[in-house]
Amino acid sequence: MPERAAPTTLESLSAMVPGSTPDLLRWLDQQLQAGQKEATLLQSLRDTGWSDAVARQAFAQVVRWRSAPAPQAAPPIPEPDLRRSPTDIDVGDRAVHVLMALEHPRIVLFGNLLSADECDAIVAAARPQMARSRTVETRTGSEEINADRTSQGMFFVRGQTPEVARLEARLARLLQWPLENGEGLQVLHYGPGAEYKPHHDYFDPAEPGTATIVRRGGQRVGTIVIYLNDPEEGGGTSFPEARLRIQPRKGNAVFFSYAQPQAHTLTLHGGDPVLRGEKWIATKWLREREFH
């Protein structure tokens, strides 16, 4: 029998037909599956002592239940395979540590994603191209300077340097998400006092520019922020609704996902002001579809 994912089970359906039983509904379902006709079925039910009213109501409910459309499986989103609570995840050329996992909001903290040398190489490649960070402006669909974001930043195109390509391959395995569905890696640098006020990374569907933005690759559905150095004080990544702060550690990374572009995902987050030292991060935003 084809698998049926109806809004309710036959057991709970029988509660909606007074006088019926789950067995009666299961029998009707099997008979309909076998191609039996209404008149024949109602007659056999009457013959075996069911009242006409119960037989008719049960028949109608089962017919309706059988024709209910199978609910759409939720589309996949980026997600590490944590089903067996692994300590490490093999990403091909490295064992990434799983340090913490929160269900809702979905937040996973990883260690050992990058070696110290790899972090340094990404910073060195990004440094000459740093400029005041821009954010995608959903009101207009263009990129603008944002007063809430006092960091400096740049984007790599995918695969731009060997380190970037290696990191992207690792992330694809770690998050079980195609490399092509990722935006180019963004590197951000926060000096003392710099911050990124709490925000959502998805594009607000209510804003007029969002339709234009999501034409390229769909919505953002996940983010991984990779720490490229150790700030001395401050500079955490905070999730105020989860009352959670992640303290940066060179080579570690925090991943979070949001299946819908909605506040109930509790993925509001920000970069706390750097109090002492500086902060370097690389951010990869993951899209629903291929981003090019």
Ligand X SMILES: O=C(O)CCC(=O)C(=O)O
Site residues, ligand X (CB under 6 A): 188, 196, 201, 223, 225, 237, 269, 271, 281, 283
Shortest Å, Cβ 115 to ligand X: 21
Q: Bridge-partner residues for 253, per DSSP?
A: 110, 226
From the list ligand X, Fe ion, none, pick the one residue 167 interacts with, judged by a Cβ distance below 5 to 8 Å according to partner type: none
> In the structure encoding, which two tokens stand for residue 38, read together?
């209404």
* Pairing assessment for the beta strands 143-145 and 186-190 based on DSSP bridges: unpaired
By CB atoms closer than 10 A (0-12, 13-18, 19+), residue 124 is exposed
From the list Fe ion, ligand X, none, pick the one residue 271 interacts with, judged by a Cβ distance below 5 to 8 Å according to partner type: ligand X
CB-nearer residue toward ligand X: 118 or 201: 201
Asked if omega into 105 is within 30° of 0 (cis), the reply is yes
CB-nearer residue toward Fe ion: 14 or 219: 219
* Cα Dmax for the chain: 87
| Residue labelled with tokens 């007029």 | 208
Which sign, positive or negative, has the C-alpha torsion 53, 58, 61, 64?
negative
From the list Fe ion, ligand X, none, pick the one residue 281 interacts with, judged by a Cβ distance below 5 to 8 Å according to partner type: ligand X
8 Å CB contact between 166 and 92: no
Shortest Å, Cβ 36 to ligand X: 59
Shortest Å, Cβ 25 to Fe ion: 50
Report helix angle 116-126 to 162-174, nearest 10: 120
Residue 183 makes contact with Fe ion by CB under 5 A? no
In whole angstroms, what is the distance from residue 39 CA to residue 52 CA? 12
Shortest Å, Cβ 135 to ligand X: 9
CB-nearer residue toward Fe ion: 183 or 201: 201
Shortest Å, Cβ 200 to Fe ion: 8
Residue 201 makes contact with Fe ion by CB under 5 A? yes
From the list Fe ion, ligand X, none, pick the one residue 14 interacts with, judged by a Cβ distance below 5 to 8 Å according to partner type: none
Which residues lie closer than 8 Å to 124 by C-beta, 6 or more apart?
A: none
Shortest Å, Cβ 248 to ligand X: 7
Residue 195 makes contact with Fe ion by CB under 5 A? no
Helix (H, G, I), strand (E, B) or coil at 210: helix
Contact window for Fe ion (CB under 5 A) among 13-21, 104-112, 167-175, 198-206: 198-206
Q: Which residues contact Fe ion by CB under 5 A?
A: 201
